[in-house]
Amino acid sequence: MTKRNKVTNKVTSNAARNAARNVTTQAKKDIRVIWRQLTLGVHSSPDNLRLHTQRILFCLDNHLSEHISGALHDLFVVLKEKGVDLRQRMFNLASPVMSFADRAYFKVWLSENSDKSLACYQFSGSVIESKTCQHQNGNTMNSFKVAPHFNHVLEEAEYKIESGQLDQAQVLLETSYLSNPNDIAIQKELQRFYFHAKKKKSMGAFIVRLNDSGVKLSKTWIDLQEMSNKW
C-alpha cells in the first residue's frame, strides 16, 4: 500500500467515525425530543392509557431507565384501583431496569392495590401527582439527580421537562424569551411546550405579556394561537 493510499484510508476512516458519531448524537437528541413530547402529552391527557403504555415502552426501547419509574407511577396514579392486569404487566416489563428501592415501592403498591400506606414520592419523569399517598411533613420526596451543568437556559428547560418539572421549565422558557424575543431556539421550544401540553390559558396570558412588552408576534405565534382554539 502506498503512502498516499494509507493517508486516504486514514482520512476516510476518520470521516466515517465522525459521521457515525454525528448520527448517534442526533439520534439521542431525537429520542429526547420524543420523550418530552410524550411527557407533555401525558400531562395534558392523563386518562389516555395508550399514551401511558407507549411512554413506558418508549423508555424501555430507548434505555431511558432514569425515567421509567416516573412513567410507571403516572400510569398507576391514573388507574387508581383499576387496571390491575395492566399495572402488573407494565411493572413486570419495567422492573428489571428499576432500582431496588423503586421496585420495592411498586411491589407494595401492587400488593395493597393502593399507595395509601406509601410516602409521596416524585419520580423523575412523573407529571401526575397522587392524591392518596402519605405526605411526609407536608413534603414530597423526589428522585431527581443533581442537575448537570448547563451551557444554555434551553438545556436546563429541556432537562426540567424530561424530568417532569414542568412548571419550572415553563418559567425558564417564558422568562428567557421575554428577555430575548429573537432567540428562535427558545421560541420553538416554548411553542412546542404549549402545543404538546395544551396549555391554552398559559399561552394566552404569555401572549398578553408579549404584547404589553411591545414584542411583535411572529406568524408562528399567531398560527399557534388560532390552533389553540381546538385544544
Q: Where are the domains of the chain?
A: 3-142, 153-230
pLDDT at 152: 93
pLDDT tens track for 95-125 = 999 999 999 999 999 999 999 999 999 999 9
Q: pLDDT grade, residue 144 (50/70/90)?
A: low
Average model confidence (pLDDT) across the chain: 90
Q: CB-based contacts of 223: which residues, under 8 Å, 6+ apart?
A: none
Residue 169: CB partners within 8 Å, gap ≥ 6? 157, 158, 160, 161, 193
161-181 residue pLDDT tens? 999 999 999 999 999 999 999
Element containing residue 211 per DSSP (H, E)? helix 200-212
pTM (two decimals): 0.85
Kindly report, residue by residue over 19-55, the tens digit of the pLDDT: 445 547 788 889 999 999 999 999 999 999 999 999 9
